[in-house]
Chains A and B, each alone.
Chain A
């Protein structure tokens, strides 16, 4: 049964915002959903606890590559045991196992909502999120071998996630064969909110009125998210990071990147930036 809609993105591209929007839409309560109780979406694909329980094998006894071999089966079971559509966040790139089968099997996949964001803003947001320097963030985004939870020295609560470079990540999902992918740009989520969120909900097969979508959007307005985080914290914020919902404004990279750093990102990603409207054909920055 194909029940999973993957909410896929490179980290810090708007995935959490979209999940909170979906929760507000699906929960339909008077007050905004508590950002620490997002129950209408269904966790992250790389959660190790799910892997251990549903495979019956502890991921920590396996190498990363051995664990990956069991992941398609994991998603088939998660999908097969659900009667409803599941929205599962994923930061892995769309990759293939040694036998050429995909890590995220089409047999479990109802569709993919891929969220893309200007890499210039992603670089700054990721530096803040991971408390690394902007330079390190840029290097990671340009590294084809990059991933999350890659080191073996300590046990993490998530499995290894190969992301590849920012460009690799975007292309891996947007060209994934045999599955239906809906692309959503963060900047359109901001500037053309109603039509962008409406299109994504329609793609997901959710039949809500424009009024309901508008109400859900108000409940996950950036100010509301910041207010909630300030009042009671946000459990997805990494320890040591001042705030998860930091700025969110397209183009805010201009306050933090040096011209040289911006050029480095453009040099690494110009082809994909042009393809998705972040750079004009003449090489001008759009946001």
Chain B
């Protein structure tokens, strides 16, 4: 077993998970290979094309790669399908199954990237492709510490403050973004079937402690030129937080409405929420980064 820590959890894992930082050997979660059924026992509480879930378990079937079973927030069992490679296994394990496991444990996983600013966490959320990882990579290049990408695990502190737990010490970037950063892709890993999305290690400035969430930028696109930023206030804050929960359909089936509401309320209460609208298509990375840095400096 390898020992890692991520998402505020100690993980013991049979498959190697490169990019997760070493743990202390006292696991909250075990990841191992084993037999995984095609279906879960009834009653089924929620179902998608490739997943189903019941009271304590979540099952994901990735065609041609693996079946992954998540039990009671403390175990992920993986059955490899066919000739799937190790990187395929790690891509799909540290993804929806981790999201389901976090929901099972009562966390709110947000679909977001996050950096450390002063003593707190600043999160970038929005739909896939909007630029969460791109802005993260750009801010990292400019000296900021990375806290998480793709999944931001949030729990509440004893006094109700939302805490963002560090994720994994890598990000996934598309070729056009790497070209912009003039990054040589030859040493980077990718799925054989997905040759333009690369796993990029965060090997210098990964921040490995939970941080209070202080600010959320909600990214979206528009079809007019220029980048716009505006603060969202009051009750309007809740909707973008709710909509950008990681795999919200799965989350809704696992979490209780009261628990979700609690989390969203706490984020709304403690964090500044701002909407950023950028022109659709290729991102003007440098302009967006400068705008965000200048906004962060204003406090």
Is A110 interfacial (CB 8 A cutoff)? no
In the complex, the answer to whether A152 meets B195 with C-beta atoms within 8 Å is yes
**9-residue interface stretch from A8-16, A53-61, A132-140, A172-180:** A53-61
Q: What is the bound-complex CA distance between A54 and B247, given in angstroms?
A: 9
Q: Is the CB of B250 within 8 A of A56?
A: yes
A61/B91 in contact, CB under 8 A:
yes
Binds A, one of B18-26, B46-54, B113-121, B257-265: B46-54
Scoring A48, A73, A234, A239 by chain B CB atoms within 10 A of each residue's CB, the highest score goes to A239
Which residues in A have their C-beta under 8 angstroms from that of B128?
48-49, 52, 58-60, 155, 157
Q: Chain B: which residue is nearest A157 at the CB level?
A: B129
- CB atoms of A62 and B60 under 8 A apart: no
- A77: Cβ under 8 A from any B Cβ: yes
Tell me whether A157 and B127 are in contact (CB under 8 A): yes
Contact present for B92 and A57 (CB under 8 Å)? yes
* A70 touches B (CB below 8 Å): yes
Name the residue of chain A whose CB is nearest to the CB of B131: A155
Q: Which of B48, B92, B195 contacts A61 (CB 8 A)?
A: B92
Q: Which residues of B contact A157 (CB under 8 A)?
A: 127-129, 221
Known: A61-B191, A157-B127, A235-B223. A66 touches B63 (CB 8 A): yes
Is A74 interfacial (CB-CB < 8 Å)?
yes
State which residues 226-250 of A face B: CB under 8 Å. 233-235, 237-239
- State how many angstroms separate the Cβ of A222 from the closest Cβ of chain B: 20
Contacts of B247 in A (CB 8 A): 52-53, 56
Shortest CB-to-CB span from A283 to chain B, Å, is: 40
B194 to A, closest residue via Cβ: A63
19 A-B pairs whose Cβ atoms sit less than 8 Å apart in the complex = A52-B247, A53-B247, A53-B249, A56-B48, A56-B49, A56-B96, A58-B95, A61-B194, A66-B63, A66-B193, A73-B49, A77-B47, A77-B48, A152-B197, A154-B282, A155-B128, A155-B174, A233-B224, A237-B223
Q: Could you tell me which B residues sit within 8 Å of A by CB distance?
A: 47-51, 60, 62-64, 91-92, 95-96, 127-129, 172, 174-177, 191, 193-197, 221-225, 247-250, 279-282
Chain A interface residues toward B at CB < 8 A = 48-49, 52-63, 66, 69-70, 73-74, 76-77, 152-157, 233-235, 237-239
